[in-house]
């Protein structure tokens, strides 16, 4: 996406100072009700259409997932799981894609200023012209979402249709979903709507139905209503308690100031040593002793 949008920025990658924060904005969210999804892939098609992307024609390996994984063109993907849950066969279909974390690991890992931004409304967006193609976002993401293009080596993922949202439109996938399994609105409204859906599912016997809004990443701006919210992993590996890897937190946290301090201190110690001890100079006696040693080597 481009940065020329009427959305205010909350956070910006590789930027130590604060973003303009006087104006407030309402947090938005996309709610994906997995129990209403029929797996038609209209959302995938709409995503390609709206974003002017085309996926290569693939091969069938005996599963419905098409393509087989997220790619730099496929920013959202239906993942199909056939599974026995409590002795009953179930066909689980989950629309995978960027979760738009409140605490985005990609943004934290990104070394290029302004290549990843988080808008005030919660959308996490890649500003591709600032992307340097290092792939750090891939390491930062707890959901394995960003993909590096083989064409331009830049990272791509779902933008939550930030360009549509900026002008008051719902994301293309939500707009096109024929069963309204995807809804879009304020995060508050979406949580309230999810509560109703969960109550309904519980009434129908899905005791562990619940909302997926993982607190480990500060909550997300893409949420799921799951029939089996106690076991999100059965939905094609949706992580139960996603967190930014502690390695990434360490790397992008204390390491940065510590490293600069360590290097600075080393230079300073050297300078102070010189100032207090002066140069270690060869004396005339040293030269004489050496000359003498060279004349009479048989010691």
Which range of residues in 51-59, 108-116, 183-191, 234-242 is near other proteins by CB under 8 A?
108-116
Question: Min. distance of Cβ 247 from other proteins in angstroms?
Answer: 4
Write each residue from 269 to 288 as x if it is in contact with other proteins (CB under 8 A), else as -, in one continuous string. -x--xx--x-xxxxxx-xxx
Radius of gyration of the chain (CA): 27
Let me know how long the chain is: 299
Q: First CA to last CA across the chain, in angstroms?
A: 78
Write each residue from 133 to 172 as x if it is in contact with other proteins (CB under 8 A), else as -, in one continuous string. xxxx-xx----x---x----x-------------------
Produce one character per residue of 174-186: b if its CB has 16 or more CB atoms within 10 Å, e if not: bbbbeeebbbbbe
C-alpha to C-alpha distances, 290 to 280, 281, 297, nearest whole angstrom: 17, 15, 10
Contact 169, 6 (CB under 8 A): no
Can you tell me which of 4, 57, 59, 291 binds other proteins, judged by CB under 8 A? 291
247 forms part of the interface with other proteins (CB under 8 A)? yes
Q: Give residues 16-75 in contact with other proteins (rule: CB under 8 A).
A: 16
Question: Min. distance of Cβ 138 from other proteins in angstroms?
Answer: 6
C-alpha to C-alpha distances, 56 to 27, 59, 66, nearest whole angstrom: 35, 10, 10
By CB under 8 A, name the binding residues for other proteins: 14-16, 111-113, 130-136, 138-139, 144, 148, 153, 245, 247-248, 250-251, 255-256, 259-260, 262-263, 266-267, 270, 273-274, 277, 279-284, 286-291, 293-294, 297-299
């Amino acid at each position: 996406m481009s940065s020329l949008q009427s959305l205010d920025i909350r956070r910006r990658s590789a930027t130590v100072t604060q973003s303009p924060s006087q104006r407030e904005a309402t947090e938005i969210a996309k709610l994906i009700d997995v129990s209403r999804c029929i797996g038609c892939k209209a959302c995938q098609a709409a995503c390609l259409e709206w974003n002017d992307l085309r996926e290569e024609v693939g091969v069938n390996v005996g599963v419905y997932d098409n393509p087989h994984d997220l790619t730099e063109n496929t920013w959202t993907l239906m993942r199909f799981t056939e599974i026995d849950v409590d002795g009953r066969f179930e066909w689980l279909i989950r629309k995978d894609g960027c979760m738009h974390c409140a605490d985005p690991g990609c943004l934290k890992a990104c070394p290029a200023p302004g290549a990843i931004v988080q808008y005030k409304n919660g959308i996490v967006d890649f500003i591709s012209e600032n992307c340097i193609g290092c792939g750090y976002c891939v390491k930062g993401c707890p959901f394995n979402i960003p993909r590096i293009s083989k064409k331009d080596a830049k990272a791509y993922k779902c933008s939550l249709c930030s360009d549509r949202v900026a002008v008051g439109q719902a994301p293309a996938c939500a707009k096109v979903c024929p069963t309204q399994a995807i809804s879009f609105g304020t995060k508050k409204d979406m949580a309230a709507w999810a509560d109703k859906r969960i109550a309904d599912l519980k009434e129908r016997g899905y005791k562990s139905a619940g909302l997926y809004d993982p607190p480990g990443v500060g909550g997300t701006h893409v949420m799921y209503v799951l029939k089996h919210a106690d076991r999100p992993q059965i939905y094609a590996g949706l992580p139960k308690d996603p967190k930014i890897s502690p390695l990434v937190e360490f790397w992008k946290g204390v390491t940065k100031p510590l490293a600069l301090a360590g290097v600075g201190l080393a230079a300073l110690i050297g300078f102070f040593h010189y100032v207090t001890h002066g140069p270690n100079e060869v004396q005339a006696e040293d030269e004489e002793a050496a000359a003498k040693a060279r004349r009479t080597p048989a010691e």
